[in-house]
Amino acid sequence: MAHPQTDLEKRKQISVRGIAQVENVANVKKTFNRHLHYTLVKDRNVSTPRDYYFALAHTVRDHLTSRWIRTQQHYYEKDPKRVYYLSLEYYMGRSLSNTMINLGIQSACDEALYQLGLDIEELESLEEDAGLGNGGLGRLAACFLDSMATLGMAAYGYGLRYEYGIFAQRIRNGEQVEEPDDWLRFGNPWEKARPEYMIPVNFYGRVEDTPTGKKWVDTQIVFAMPYDSPIPGYKNNVVNTMRLWSAKSPNNFNLQFFNDGDYIQAVLDRNFAENITRVLYPNDNFFEGKELRLKQEYFMVAATLQDIIRRFKASKFGSTDAVRTNFDAFPDKVAIQLNDTHPAMAVPELMRILVDIEGLTWAQAWKITKGACAYTNHTVLPEALERWPVSLLENILPRHLQIIYEINHHHLQEVGKKWPGDSERVRRMSVVEECGEKRINMAHLAIIGSHAVNGVAAIHSEIIKRDLFKDFAEMMPEKFQNKTNGITPRRWLLLCNPTLADVIAEKIGEDWTVHLDQLAQLKEYVSDPGLLRSIQTAKQENKMRLAKQLEQDYGVKVNPSSIFDIQVKRIHEYKRQLLNCLHIITLYNRIKANPSAPVTPRTVMIGGKAAPGYHTAKQIIRLICAVANVVNNDPIVGDKLKVIYLENYRVTLAEQIIPAADLSEQLSTAGTEASGTGNMKFMLNGALTIGTLDGANIEMMEEMGKENIFIFGMTVDEVEALKASGYNAWDYYNKIPELRQCIDQIQSGFFSPNNPDQFKDLVNILMHHDRFFLFADYESYIHSQHEVDELYTKPTEWTKKALLNIASSGKFSSDRTIAEYGREIWGVEPSWEKLPAPYEPAEGTEAAK
């Protein structure tokens, strides 16, 4: 590996990441060499860059481990209320840089590797993204884990250790091609297998009536093997645990096959059990009622609840006896947060354990279950809500179906008492949907079985009370809350944008990293030319770095002085990437019609993955790529407009793109995006937003002032009014010439000359079946984009607005969100106190006194 050419002055500067102390550097070098030596002795004599990466990862892990052990000992001895976050997705990204920053050792590691002739950035780039999530929901879970550790909460993230994460996206001839994400092929230095805590999980079987109650018998067993990953808080010596379950087949063979001599088949059959955690389902905002998905959901919930109860029962100070048998204390010691309905089987499973195994009465068990569980709703799209066929549950989880029926029976009795004779309301509020194939509505089950239900932005929480769960909000209004989403400023500013982080720290100090509301102090410097210049410089450096990367990856030379206009998120009709595409075509047509007219140059970047079975989303990608091909190769357009489809968007790519953005596109139809968190990341990094009054955009506008955001389009009420009066796309097509030209070009094959009919399906949707009303917002969007162009020609004014965006981001820290969950749902108070470091005496010991 070549020695990095690093600017000496830059290396000497004191940044918010910490000063590299001489003794820390020496310690890192020593540990690194020890790990490298072990790897080479064990495997080979010649080192590779990957060997260096693993040596560095293990060096950093050594710093983590002692803190991890001490944190868990602290929880064991203090026995605080524990928070269990249950999520089928954790979109973690890379761990190395984040861990170094949170431990405060990044400068020491950087300097140590520099002295050893190694480039830390090159080693960081070798780490595989842990892509165990589809998009916002999984990334939110990852930010929440970071915040829970930073706020000193005794918290655990539980999920599944998928062998294959979200697919790797390749764009071939303008089309998305999915490749498996074999993220574990080189091993994962951040996880620790814990076979001593392996847990059996049951499927299938039948239910027997016995003198002592119902028994689930003749089941098939799959074992859940836990893998623990450390989650470090920011410079507070707290290290929490993310425990992911992996499916393992039991050791005993199918004797029938074995006796028939089909030994090979008996071994191969073991794979069926282990397929449960083989792959993440790549669907976002779409429910696919597959047997394997139900098994994944129950497998995670069943293993997790057994683990929670084992920990609840365990005594302190080393005794192996289960000393806590009074389950009435369970809600005082355990908070279970269901991240959407995917873990909603926790409600009947906890009831089964308490009633069938622990012998509690139904009333006792129900009170405990409701007291412990809380449910977060993440979507209002009807196609995304989980509704499991009764026939599937009857086969796979027969006892749970009985329990669900019993829960529903008691629930509907309560409904009947409150609204006697209202059979229509009873039908609407039932957990069991009788229309067509009988199904279990998992959202209804989660609401009934929880003491708190929350949306993830103010408008979203109002919509679920007003529309989606209106009957439930009328019956139990005290349950419904709002918890506006947030992002961790450690990853989404300190890690990904160190230049801007240093500019901020120089002005207001470093406390903003854990108290993001302190960014508001920057507002008083909005007219400080020195600060504005520093923010411009930081942005320009990030843009030039990205421009170089884009030329390298896509062969497209972009103008770093152009507006970097970015829309990155899952590809879905409601997110309206097509509206962005119509704007691109409109700009292209204007340039072609008048090539000599002055134009504010733009580089438009769109990125995101489409679910493999979502034909329309894949067509949207094909259209954007086709438009890019025409625009980028037109000599008349030149560098006035460039379009790039960003391949394989993921956490690591987001960390490179977001700091370089000038404009963030948040285009969802009002009332469809629950919150969004990408919008917050762009805001924190000084991009201006063009967006609808949807999700968290509304609260962003309230924080920064409407003059610092480009708002366009219909409001939720206007969308509802349009639905009621009837939306006719032809009215807009006939009325707006520029829109008509765009649609005619797409329809006629202008962008697909080799296959003129390629995009007729998309045009048909837009003209006849558009649930998201693109044309109704087109004019307003184009007008708003013109305002963007105008403002960009006034750099000082633009930068002032960028500064006010950064300064108004404090509310959108996941620390604030988690503090609210803690105080208002979990009954856990956040703490900013540090635990003693490993070399300091533990709290309460003689040496500490």
The residues annotated with a catalytic role in the active site are: 378, 569-570, 575, 677, 681
Q: Among residues 235, 237, 236, which one has the least CA distance to residue 17?
A: 235
d(CA 683, CA 806): 6
d(CA 104, CA 97): 10
Cβ atoms 10, 541 nearer than 8 A = no
455 is written with which tokens?
Answer: 């949306």
CA 743, 745, 749, 753 dihedral sign is negative
d(CA 345, CA 567): 35
First vs last C-alpha separation in the chain:
49
Instruction: Identify the helix (H) or strand (E) that includes residue 432.
Output: strand 432-433
Residue 131, CA distances (Å) to 243, 388, 551, 685 in order: 16, 26, 26, 23
719 is written with which tokens?
Answer: 């969308």
DSSP 786-798: HHHHHHHT-HHHH
724 is written with which tokens?
Answer: 């009621």
d(CA 700, CA 679): 9
**Region of residue 326 (phi > 0: left; psi between -120 and 50: alpha; otherwise: beta):** beta
205 is written with which tokens?
Answer: 């079987």
Measured in whole angstroms, the distance separating CA 560 from the mean position of its chain's CA atoms is 30
Return the beta strands (E) in 470-617 as ranges.
480-482, 563-568, 602-607
Contacts of residue 820, defined as CB under 8 A and 6 or more positions apart, other chains included, come to 483
Cβ atoms 32, 26 nearer than 8 A = no
d(CA 643, CA 488): 30
Q: Helix, strand, or coil here: 213? A: strand
Q: Among residues 588, 604, 622, which one has the least CA distance to residue 665?
A: 604
